[in-house]
Chains A and B, each alone.
Chain A
Amino acid sequence: MGNPASAREDEKFMALLQESANQLVDKLQNNEYENASDIIHRLLEARDAHIFNSVGQLTRGLHNAIVNFNVDADVTTNPPEVKNSEIRDASDRLQYVLDLTQAAADKTMDKVEAAAPIAMNLGQEAHRLKDEWKKLKRREMSKEQFKELYSSIDDFLDQMGEGTDLLNRHLQEIILEQGFQDLTGQVLKKVIGLITDVESELVNLMRIAGQVEEVTGLASDEDNKKEETDAIKAEGPAMHADKRDDVVSGQDDVDDLLSSLGF
């Protein structure tokens, strides 16, 4: 164990054990059972002290972890009621990310849905005028038709000016809406930082708990069994899909897999 205090404890205990072992052999060989029993009791007491010490460290570690995460909880109730903590705060932050991305997606789609018909109308009108214009160039146009074309070109230029202004405004607003990436990015970075802290605190606690287990002789192999992953349980977008064998890397892979199944 890396903890110097604990290493000192171990050394002390080993020294006591060595000293006691020799004495114990002496006493037993001389049939001094009462004295031998005293020595065994002394050893047990030293071992108990060692356990109490380690449990104390574990408790302090837990306490520090709780303080570090600003957990404000009422531990007198069962289960303890958590009033406030960095984890709770992180949940709120992630909810904020969810809300913000939702709002940005909705607004962007609103703008696109508002812009699409403008672009479509301008395009249709341009095609219609182009056909008329061709007629004019081929001199297939009556004076009346020319008058009509003359005024529709006027109208079209007006529409074009207004339409492109509107399109530009929608496009600018779509750009602005992408600001969610910055805001959510900052929040996500904070949450990632917190998760890293939680991990190192947990590793620290495991280390201390490991000392308790070592001293008390409690094995923990059973607890360390990894939870088996359910092959078809939904897990959302796959992270590091390119490094995993059990995950397809895109639609082409899906199509290959399905066609191999006879699709």
Chain B
Amino acid sequence: MKILIVDDFSTMRRIIKNLLRDLGFTNTHEADDGSTALPMLRGGDFDFLVTDWNMPGMTGIDLLKEVRADQKLVSLPVLMVTAEAKRDQIIEAAQAGVNGYVVKPFTAQVLKEKIDKIFERVNN
């Protein structure tokens, strides 16, 4: 499974990368904002997108909207991992078609739960 991790902080990308590796996902790639992520997603056959919300350039919510508007990417599972914790934001992300929402700081357990849930639903 090919996964793209999008976050402007390399530390957070590394943490998520490590957690994913522990969960058995080793094919991970990184981008530091939506505008670098989008061409990667369009060009490569990614199976899963993990993105932050607050990033310079293109934000995660805009990336999500672009993904859902792209015929090739419309059904790509997207997990938002972000410090943005306003109710309106979570509702906005849900309406934009996010598959899971994890607020930072998070635990390995929570990340695993959400990823399992997403793939359970995608596979059914």
Chain A positions near chain B (C-beta within 8 angstroms)? 101-102, 105-106, 109, 113, 231-232, 234-238, 241, 246-251, 254, 257-258, 261, 263
Q: Flag if B84 contacts A251 (CB, 8 Å).
A: no
Show 9 residue pairs from A and B whose CB-CB distance is below 8 angstroms, ordered by the A residue: A105-B11, A105-B14, A234-B59, A236-B83, A247-B85, A248-B90, A251-B103, A251-B110, A254-B90
- Do A250 and B103 touch across chains, with their CB atoms under 8 A apart? yes
- Chain A residues with CB under 8 Å of B85's CB are 237-238, 241, 247-249, 254
- Which of A101, A234, A237, A263: most chain B CB closer than 10 A? A234
5 further A-B contacts with Cβ under 8 Å, apart from A235-B54, A237-B83, are A106-B14, A109-B11, A232-B89, A248-B85, A248-B86
B25 on the A face (CB < 8 A): no
Residue of A nearest to B52 (CB): A234
B94 near A261: Cβ-Cβ < 8 Å = yes
A-B CB proximity, top 4 nearest: A234-B54, A105-B11, A231-B88, A237-B83
For chain B, residues 1 to 58, give those with C-beta under 8 angstroms from any C-beta of chain A. 9-11, 14-15, 18, 53-54
Kindly report which residue of chain A lies nearest to residue B11, judged by CB atoms: A105
Min CB distance B70 to A, Å, is 21
Task: Give complex CA distance A241, B11 in Å.
Answer: 24
Nearest CB of A to B55, in Å: 8
Task: Find the A residue at minimum CB distance from B94.
Answer: A261
Asked if A232 and B92 make an inter-chain contact with CB atoms under 8 angstroms apart, the answer reads: yes
Q: Is the CB of B103 within 8 A of A246?
A: no
Q: Mark B82-109, 1 if CB is under 8 A from A, else 0.
A: 0111111111101000000111101000
* Contact residues in B for A250 (Cβ distance below 8 Å): 103
Q: Does B61 contact A (CB under 8 A)?
A: yes
Residues on B facing A (Cβ under 8 Å): 9-11, 14-15, 18, 53-54, 59, 61, 83-92, 94, 101-104, 106, 110
Q: CB-CB < 8 A to B92: which residues of A?
A: 231-232
Contact B53 A234 (CB under 8 A): yes
Pair B54/A232 contact, Cβ less than 8 Å: no
* Contact present for A106 and B11 (CB under 8 Å): yes
Cβ-defined contact, A258 with B53, below 8 A: no
Which residue on B lies nearest to A234, using beta carbons? B54
Q: Which residues of B contact A261 (CB under 8 A)?
A: 91, 94
Closest residue of chain A to B121, judged by CB?
A263
**B9 proximity list for chain A (CB < 8 A):** 102
| Chain A min CB distance to B8 (Å) | 11
CA distance A49 to B102 in the complex (A): 63
Q: For B84, list chain A residues within 8 Å (CB).
A: 234-236
Chain A residue with minimal CB distance to B104? A237
* With A105-B11, A234-B59, A258-B94 as contacts: A246 and B87 at CB distance below 8 Å: yes
* Complex Cα spacing A232 to B83, Å: 13
A33 to B92, CA, bound (A): 71
| Inter-subunit contact A254/B103 (CB<8 Å) | yes
* Chain A residue at smallest Cβ distance from B105: A237
Report the nearest A residue to B109, measured CB to CB: A251
B91 to chain A, nearest CB (A): 7
